[in-house]
Amino acid sequence: MRPPRAGRVGQGGRPVTADQVTPVEHEEAVPGGAAESRPVGLDGLLDERNQRLAHAGIARAEDLLLSRYRLSSREEAFDLLRRTSQRFNVKLHTLADVAVHAPAPQRNAHSWMPRRPRGAAPALPALRGEGQP
CATH number at residue 96: 1.10.10
Q: Is residue 50 part of a domain?
A: yes
Q: Is residue 86 part of a domain?
A: yes
Alpha-helical runs (H) found in 7-127:
26-29, 42-69, 74-88, 92-101
Q: Is residue 126 part of a domain?
A: no
What domain count does the chain have? 1
User: What pLDDT does residue 1 have?
Assistant: 44
Tell me which residue range forms the domain holding 47: 39-103
Q: Is residue 53 part of a domain?
A: yes
User: What pLDDT does residue 2 have?
Assistant: 44
Q: Is residue 72 part of a domain?
A: yes
User: What pLDDT does residue 12 have?
Assistant: 56
Instruction: Please calculate the CA angle 77-116-59 and round it to the nearest 5 degrees.
Output: 20
pLDDT along the chain (133 residues), means of 10: 47 54 45 51 81 86 88 92 93 91 78 70 71 55
User: What pLDDT does residue 5 have?
Assistant: 42
User: What pLDDT does residue 55 have?
Assistant: 83
CA 85 to CA 92: how far, in whole Å? 5
- This model's pTM is above 0.85: no
